[in-house]
Amino acid sequence: MTVRWGIVGPGRIARKVAADFAHVPDAEVVAVASRSKERAEAFAAEVGAGTVHDTYRGIVEDPDVDVLYIATPHPLHRAVALAGLRAGKALLVEKAFTVSPEATREIAALAAERGLFVMEAMWTRFQPAIVRMRELVAEGAIGDVMAVQADLGAQQPSSPDDRFYNPALGGGALFDLSVYPISFAQMVLGNPESVTVHGYMVEEGVDVEEAILLGYPEGRSATLFASLRCQSPGMARVVGTGGWMEVPPRFHHPSRLLVHRNGHEPEELHLPPTGAGYSHEIAEVTEGVKAGLAESAVMPLAETVAVQDIMGQVADQLGMAVAEGPADLEQ
Ligand SMILES: NC(=O)c1ccc[n+]([C@@H]2O[C@H](COP(=O)([O-])OP(=O)(O)OC[C@H]3O[C@@H](n4cnc5c(N)ncnc54)[C@H](OP(=O)(O)O)[C@@H]3O)[C@@H](O)[C@H]2O)c1
């Protein structure tokens, strides 16, 4: 069985993800949708999709599409996701899943009601080096995990035309970058009992930088940093009572893992991703849909909700007025 995919929003990430379909058996991009006919046609020609839609409603209602990959700016995920679920589609939704925890819960509830496979495109969790890191943690290779440290700084264009500095398009470091260290910490340590942030908001009403401290029982912690104005290494470390592991830059799509067991020489594992690293999340959804599953065991919706709850607390503490998008498509 070939799982037929439709891509919504032919922007920067859609182009990269589309290229990785070549590495996934049984997955095919059959349709694309843009708000502009010209952009849809150009993108379809580039990715080899046979069907072009010049409205998002068109692809949502296309009976020959099984899965929608939603690659629009984060506040606009909600309308496509809810309309897609009502039309019976499975979904792969870009990070940040939404900009409000309420909208994530709304989508998760509808997915459960309809029994449709829905997953956040948190590609980090599917990278071979991260999969191995989680196995090693579970085997006790570094003892009891006490701390996570992670940073992700990416200097982005400050033009108001770009989504990065536009609050209506979910701009700011939080939803674009902090989502990665937060999701990494949530994956390793679970849901925190406290969230503390120190950050900086600019006049556009978006956060450009923040340091986040997540607190866990028995002194466990995650110290996280993200920035839209500084290029930082993008490293992650997991520290335990028996040693530590380092995920070298960029930790959100690594090809190596360093394992330091106390009293031993460090071990370096080379575990590169297939393609640009998006193939693994495409395969997870494709296999899940073929098997009739409701969600991924690696990136379950409850954990996406937990990450959104942390981001919601960060946004509140920073005084960010988060603008969630509409619940339905305009046309
Ligand atoms: N996983 C990753 O590595 C990764 C990397 C970058 C971004 N992302 C995520 O992917 C999503 C898209 O990011 P991107 O950088 O690809 O964005 P982008 O280049 O700005 O593209 C977004 C696309 O959304 C569509 N869109 C619909 N309504 C829009 C509006 N009001 N304003 C602007 N565009 C609108 C546009 O396509 P049409 O107008 O043609 O329909 C546009 O091409 C975000 O949620 C982002 O966090 C993920």
Q: Is 94 in the pocket of ligand 1 (CB under 6 A)?
A: yes
Residue 52 domain flag = yes
Q: What is the mean pLDDT of residues 129-133?
A: 98
Q: Is 280 in the pocket of ligand 1 (CB under 6 A)?
A: no
Judge if 105 and 220 occupy the same domain: no
User: From the CA of 90, how far away is ligand 1's center (Å)?
Assistant: 19
**Per-residue pLDDT band at 331 (split at 50, 70, 90):** low
Q: Are 223 and 211 in contact (CB under 8 A)?
A: yes
Kind and range of the H or E element at 282?
A: helix 279-290
My answer on whether omega of the bond before 250 falls inside 30° of 0, hence cis, is yes
Q: Is 78 in the pocket of ligand 1 (CB under 6 A)?
A: no
Catalytic one of 16, 37, 95, 290: 95
User: From the CA of 6, how far away is ligand 1's center (Å)?
Assistant: 15
Judge if 99 and 156 occupy the same domain: no
My answer on whether omega of the bond before 79 falls inside 30° of 0, hence cis, is no
Residue 308 domain flag = no
Q: What is the mean pLDDT of residues 156-166?
A: 85
Judge if 200 and 80 occupy the same domain: no
Residue 256 domain flag = yes
Task: Give the domain extent around 51.
Answer: 3-123
**Per-residue pLDDT band at 36 (split at 50, 70, 90):** very high
Judge if 161 and 261 occupy the same domain: yes
Q: Is 9 in the pocket of ligand 1 (CB under 6 A)?
A: yes
Judge if 184 and 88 occupy the same domain: no
Strand partners, 32: 7, 52
User: From the CA of 138, how far away is ligand 1's center (Å)?
Assistant: 36
Q: Is 39 in the pocket of ligand 1 (CB under 6 A)?
A: yes
What pLDDT was estimated at residue 162?
84
How far is 137 from 240, CA to CA, in rounded Å?
9
Ligand 1: residue whose CA is nearest its atom 43: 11
- Domain stops at, among 123, 154, 184: 123
CATH at residue 14 = 3.40.50.720
Judge if 109 and 178 occupy the same domain: no
**Per-residue pLDDT band at 305 (split at 50, 70, 90):** very high
Residue 309 domain flag = no
CATH at residue 199 = 3.30.360.10
Ligand 1: residue whose CA is nearest its atom 27: 72
Judge if 160 and 262 occupy the same domain: yes
Whether 95 is catalytic? yes
User: From the CA of 72, how far away is ligand 1's center (Å)?
Assistant: 4
Mean pLDDT score of the chain, rounded to an integer? Answer: 97
* Ligand 1 atom, smallest distance to 35 CA: 41
Q: Is 127 in the pocket of ligand 1 (CB under 6 A)?
A: no
Judge if 173 and 231 occupy the same domain: yes
Judge if 113 and 235 occupy the same domain: no
Q: Which two tokens stand for residue 73?
A: 């700016």
What pLDDT was estimated at residue 255?
98
Judge if 109 and 136 occupy the same domain: no
Residue 284 domain flag = no
Report the domain count for the chain: 2
Judge if 110 and 132 occupy the same domain: no
